[in-house]
Structure 1
Amino acid sequence: MQLLDKSQKNMSSKRFSLKRNFTYSLAGNLSYAFSQWIIVMLIAKFGTPEMVGRYSLGLAITAPVFLFLNVNLRAIQATDTKNEYQFIDYFYNRNITNLIGVLIVLCIISGLNLNKETQIIIFIMSICKVLETICDVSFGLFQQNERMDYVSMSKIIQSLLSIFFVTFAIVTFNNLFLAVVLNGVSFLLTFIFYNLYKIYKITGIKLETEVFNIKNNFSYKKVWSLFVIGLPLGIAASLDSFNANIPRYFLQYFMNEKYVGYFSAIFFIMASGGTIITALAQSATPRLARLYNESIKQFALLLKKLIVFALVLGLIGIILSLFFGDLILSVLYSPDYSKFNILFILLMIAATIWYISSFIGTALMATRKFNSQMLIYIITTVVSVIGAIFLIPSYGLLGAGLLIILSHIARLIVTTFIYCKIIKNRVR
């Protein structure tokens, strides 16, 4: 394992600039977001709103489970400037939690009043999550070494495979089950034929052989320690996902899968802007982590630049939805979706608030004050649940849009308060 430390030191000398890493990260995240949007678009155009709703419900059920158990290892890796853990420790942790995640999803769907087809789709989507999160743990290694070009290329390869496979399944057979299965295969192929080689290039170990050398490589203490360290992040991430999916849960309960489909399709447009924000946040995280320790003034300056970028991007989205919303929804999906343009506008307003709070949250992550993340999402989730109870039964889809705005305002307020408190203590 000494080879790992030596190799990572060699890689650190090859780190790219923030601008270059952002460019790579943006390319990868856009390709991934585009592939996810293509899946929804294909289902909406060639299938039914019920099929979109079934697919979205699968995401809504599996995402919180895996986000909690995966304890945001990528953030821990990216900010691990002292190399306290080896990559193999992260990998073992991820696979153990993935197994638990599949079992939990099985328990959830067996206890819900869902038809057999929907249950099968959700189970297969849980397997896809396993494959996706295995890729993600390698991204943490790449990000730690500021090689976002590796992350980008992996996402581009997976996205192209996913688009090809899903298009084949939906257009040719109109089969959601086959589309979900093949989407999972795209993650598997990418990890085997690309990610493994890049892992070897950075660490100097062949993961496919070392992972089975449990006697020498597996450390229960380190694997458990990672879970404990990341537990606040896992709770925060799962609450964030749960919070984002609260409108879907309430729409499913008070209305039906058709309206879940309408909401989810339009929400994906909001999420596409988040792809740009996420790309920049991921690129900036290691830089912010170093600046927090070296120069608090430069740390704050970089955050201000990120916030201005978020504000500009959000305003562009609001303007487009106001003047071209009907046309955008008709072209992307079908004319039937254009009647929900007000929902589109509300979601773009929410997106602007979301983008700003995301960057402030990224700065908090860079300080490694992980416990603060949990408090943010607990408060946000409580606000969202209370808001959903009053808004969705009375206003339907528009209530869901207002709920998203309310939840992101709550997140922005709490995140900003905690950030200011931490920086104030740091300056002292």
Structure 2
Amino acid sequence: MDITDRRAAHGPHRTGRDAAPETGAIRHRPAADVAWSLAGLATATLAQWGLILALTRIGSPTMVGQYALGLAVSAPVMLVCGLGLHTVLVTDTADRFVPAEYLRTRLAGVGAALAVIGALAAVAGTAGATVVLLVGLAKALDGVGEIFFAVLQRAGRVRTVGRAMTVNGTVTLVAAVGLLAATGDLRVAVLGSVLGSLLGSVGYPVWTVRRLRARGQLPPGPAAPRRRRTERARLLRLAVTALPVGLASGLASFSVNVPRYVVEHRLGPAALGVFAALSYVLLAANMLFSAMYQVLLPRMSAMLGRGERTALIRLVGRLVVGALLLGAVGVAAAAIGGRPVLGLLYGPEYAASADALTVFAVAVCASGALFAINTALLAVRRFTHQLAAGAVTVLVAGGVSLLLVPRLGLVGAALTVVVVLGSEAVVKGVMLRGALTVPPAETPDAAVTRPVAQGAAGR
């Protein structure tokens, strides 16, 4: 994986005002960036939903539940152990660490995550333990690919990232559904997801980075330190810097997945399968929000760099209102046509839970508002704020799930998702307002982020 280790032949790496123009630099076009991000995310989301749809038709709700449990177990663990290195690398404009160091730290993290996922699967002792492990392996490969995605994203190669995600999603869908139809075995089908991640998240971006470097269209980057002791110290410092991001991301994922754990424990894997199938309306909305805010993050950072804090607050306010209006349309559509659509797509077992689909449409409102606020917090690099908010929402998720799921079933689980997303949006909204009223030098994260901010200011 030749990501950055180009040595002295390329000369010293320069940052700040003295940096040389990047070879092969391309012009950034926000609309095109959104389109390519959306295309990649859409393919990945449709691939996952396509596998769920195939499981509802070829398999059973129990198989859907086993696959959903694999996602629910592996996602939080991978996010915590992944340390949010993608975000830290993209925003590391001062080049405090080289991409090779990010890659080595990520490899260590995904190794630890696979060990934890394996232990959780063994302790659970469920029939889907193998599925959990294989889903974790696919997520591990995706995590490795994120480092290459970050390198390409910093170089403005959003189109390449979109293509890589498209390769991943297409191979995953074709291979997984084909294997499921041929064998009827979910464990074999999930191997298709592993293959998609291997080709799309690792193979294609690695090949692309090497090709662009060979053509001089991607800067080689600085060399990693040669001394083992120095290298270990730097990797440890990188892990400590990124830890709040990873913990915050993991807690956020865990809090949203808590209802799934309770549903599987109290109602069984078949009920979890129905719940997972219904929740894809929220996943589809999040795909759109994610594509938009990946492009809005640099804009928000630039606004802060110009001191336009009031304008940033107004922008976030408009985005929140837009998300609420979009969610309101979704609620009306789900209430009117949810039952027949579910029956047509999934079957009568799923149509009987149409009320939960309407509640998920309400969750779209909360999720859209949360995306807007969360992106602004990332722009001001309030990593510890993210961690504190995550801890609060985990407690809320646990309490509300145990209260509502036993009483209201899948509707209670969907209501829990609404409460979790809504409470996180409120907590982070308060934190964002407070962060924007404090001078940057006096913020709690200044000691960690000041070197990066100084590097950005020097460009």
TM-score (norm: length of structure 2): 0.86
Structure 2: distance between partners of 1:193 and 1:109: 28
Contact 1:39 1:163 in 2 (8 A): yes
Structure 1: distance between partners of 2:271 and 2:77: 24
The Cα offsets for residues 308-347 of structure 1, whole Å up to 9 and x where unpaired, read as 4423432232122121111221222112211111100101
1:41 aligns with 2:53: yes
Q: CA deviation at 1:357?
A: 1.0
* Matching residue of 2:431: 418
Instruction: Give the 5 Å matches for 1:206-355.
Output: 215=226, 219-297=231-309, 298-355=311-368
* Matching residue of 1:398: 411
1:93 aligns with 2:105: yes
| Residue of 377, 393, 402 corresponding to 2:390 | 377
Structure 2: distance between partners of 1:302 and 1:138: 31
Contact 1:143 1:282 in 2 (8 A): no
Indicate how the Cα distance of structure 1 residues 285 and 72 shifts in structure 2: closer, same or farther if over 3 A, else same. Answer: same
Paired residue type of 1:157: V
Contact 1:16 1:147 in 2 (8 A): no
1:159 aligns with 2:169: yes
TM-score (norm: length of structure 1): 0.92
| Residue of 120, 123, 131 corresponding to 2:141 | 131
The Cα offsets for residues 239-296 of structure 1, whole Å up to 9 and x where unpaired, read as 1111111111111111110101110110122111100101111122223223221242
Most deviating of 215-224 and 24-33: 215-224
Contact 2:142 2:202 in 1 (8 A): no
Most deviating of 225-234 and 213-222: 213-222
Identity of aligned residues (%): 22
Q: CA deviation at 1:300?
A: 3.7
Structure 2: distance between partners of 1:360 and 1:222: 32
Secondary structure class of the residue paired with 2:438: helix
Secondary structure class of the residue paired with 1:146: coil
| Residue of 150, 157, 167 corresponding to 1:147 | 157
Paired residue type of 1:253: H
* Matching residue of 1:176: 186
The Cα offsets for residues 143-172 of structure 1, whole Å up to 9 and x where unpaired, read as 233332121111111111111101211222
Contact 1:353 1:409 in 2 (8 A): yes
Contact 1:91 1:134 in 2 (8 A): yes
Higher helix share: 1
Indicate how the Cα distance of structure 1 residues 404 and 12 shifts in structure 2: closer, same or farther if over 3 A, else same. Answer: farther
Indicate how the Cα distance of structure 1 residues 8 and 51 shifts in structure 2: closer, same or farther if over 3 A, else same. Answer: farther
Structure 2: distance between partners of 1:250 and 1:8: 54
Paired residue type of 1:235: L
Q: CA deviation at 1:203?
A: 5.8
Q: CA deviation at 1:299?
A: 3.5
CA RMSD of aligned residues (A): 2.7
Indicate how the Cα distance of structure 1 residues 320 and 5 shifts in structure 2: closer, same or farther if over 3 A, else same. Answer: farther
Contact 1:89 1:223 in 2 (8 A): yes
Indicate how the Cα distance of structure 1 residues 225 and 9 shifts in structure 2: closer, same or farther if over 3 A, else same. Answer: farther
Q: CA deviation at 1:221?
A: 2.4
Contact 2:84 2:246 in 1 (8 A): yes
Q: CA deviation at 1:238?
A: 1.1
Indicate how the Cα distance of structure 1 residues 214 and 341 shifts in structure 2: closer, same or farther if over 3 A, else same. Answer: same
The Cα offsets for residues 210-232 of structure 1, whole Å up to 9 and x where unpaired, read as 9xx99579922232222111211
Q: CA deviation at 1:129?
A: 1.4
Most deviating of 131-140 and 341-350: 131-140
| Runs of at least 5 residues in structure 1 that lack an aligned partner in the other structure | none
The Cα offsets for residues 25-58 of structure 1, whole Å up to 9 and x where unpaired, read as 1111111111110011111111000000111111
Secondary structure class of the residue paired with 1:93: helix
Structure 1: distance between partners of 2:396 and 2:20: 43
| Residue of 54, 65, 76 corresponding to 1:53 | 65
1:70 aligns with 2:82: yes
